[in-house]
Amino acid sequence: MISFELSPDQRKLQQRIRHLAEEKLHPLSLKLEAGKPGPIDKDYLKIISKEHLNAFIIPEEYGGKPLDRLTLSLVTEEISYGCAGLASIYAATVHAVSALLIGGSHEQKEAFLIPLLKPEGEVASCCITEEKGGSDTSSFDTTARLEGDHYVINGAKVPIINAGNAAFYTVWASSDTGRGRAGINAFVVPKEVAGITCSAYHDKPGLRCAPTAMVFFHDVVVPRSSLIGLPGSGYLLLMQTLDWGRAFFGAICVGLARAAIEEIIHFAKKRVILNRPILKNQGISFILAELATDIDAARLLVWRACRLMDLNMDYTRESSMAKLFASEVAAKVTREGMLIIGQKGYSGPTLMAKYQRDAQALRILEGTSHIQKMIISSQL
């Protein structure tokens, strides 16, 4: 049965995070936007802890209070409505945790998930992309050589959200370059291990609140038990992790698009040209009607993908559709926003310009729009 009704509990949670977004995240994100690149802001870590965001993705047996995927998409939309940067910080943790939930052993979950609930506010990183390979994740230059009872990891991943802040990294590497995808393994690597270093933080145009850097692995020695899943299962694990993550990023895009359209409506109501608010012109109001329809359609795609996940059904195509459509909608809303706000959106560091830069980053992250089209078309 299809239902668009949210339960009282879902609505309550949604309201709680919306309130957080309006009261705290909006002003914080604007302050951070203007700052220099650096580690995750301490207030954001406090919010992660205080709002129990990590508990939402951790099973009860490891101390969490897990949400189903649909409810998590509601939370994610609201976080992103407040700050797409914080939502991306959270997404990186969600990805790293998802890899453990899908393929990790009980010991790995116990060792790495429980500490994410510490009151300091913890995050994790997901290390997939490399300079040379980019979108191509069928082979990696990063290697993980098996030597007796341990692996030795060498290579570099870039750009990595939460680099230098993460309690642990999930790292994809090739253990047998001759075997292509079948030679790929995934590892869970604690931050303290010798040989992990990070570059300076990137001074990037969008998602500035979500620090990214390059992560280097130089002769990083980890026990055999750091391998997630069976030897050679890394590629499959990666596809499963990304499949789920795409709908999650769709929710981030919906939250950002909603924040942007609210800003446009607010502006269009109070900007008076030729004695009437510009919103009264169909040239403006029809654009807003289309954008509002697009945002709702994007949300429904996200909900559908999440619902399929909750029902344990196939969702690869639906998750990619959600990410593709929602990220393009976010880009469209912010592009139209820049036009409607006119020179006032273009004079100095404005909110709409920030939204537009964040939206462009979201078209790339988690597989570009081209890659989503490749995935969807392969499933037709």
Residues marked as catalytic: 366
Cα–Cα dist 120/46, whole Å: 7
Q: Contact between 279 and ligand FAD (CB under 6 A)?
A: no
Per-residue DSSP letter, 275: T
> Residue holding tokens 């990619």?
320
Residue 159 or 337 with smaller CB distance to ligand FAD: 159
Cα–Cα dist 173/186, whole Å: 6
Within 8 A by CB and 6+ apart from 230, the residues are none
Residue from the set 79, 92, 96, 309 that interacts with ligand FAD by CB under 6 A = 92
- E strands, the chain, are 125-127, 143-147, 150-161, 168-174, 184-190, 196-198, 212-223, 227-228, 272-273, 276-277
Beta bridge partners, 152, equal 145, 221
Give me the residue whose beta carbon is nearest to ligand FAD: 134
Through-space distance between the first and last CA atoms of the chain, rounded to whole angstroms? 24
Which two tokens mark 218?
Answer: 């130089």
| Residues 138-157 close enough to bind ligand FAD by CB under 6 A | 157
Residue from the set 32, 361, 375, 376 that interacts with ligand FAD by CB under 6 A = 361
Residue from the set 212, 319, 356, 372 that interacts with ligand FAD by CB under 6 A = 212
Piece of 216-224, 322-330, 332-340, 366-374 that binds ligand FAD (CB under 6 A): 366-374
Q: Contact between 160 and ligand FAD (CB under 6 A)?
A: yes
Q: How far is the CB of 268 from ligand FAD (least distance, A)?
A: 30
Q: Contact between 370 and ligand FAD (CB under 6 A)?
A: yes
Piece of 183-191, 305-313, 335-343, 365-373 that binds ligand FAD (CB under 6 A): 365-373
Cα–Cα dist 312/331, whole Å: 31
Q: Contact between 225 and ligand FAD (CB under 6 A)?
A: no
Binding site for ligand FAD (CB under 6 A): 92, 126-129, 134-135, 157, 159-161, 207, 212, 361, 364-368, 370-371, 374
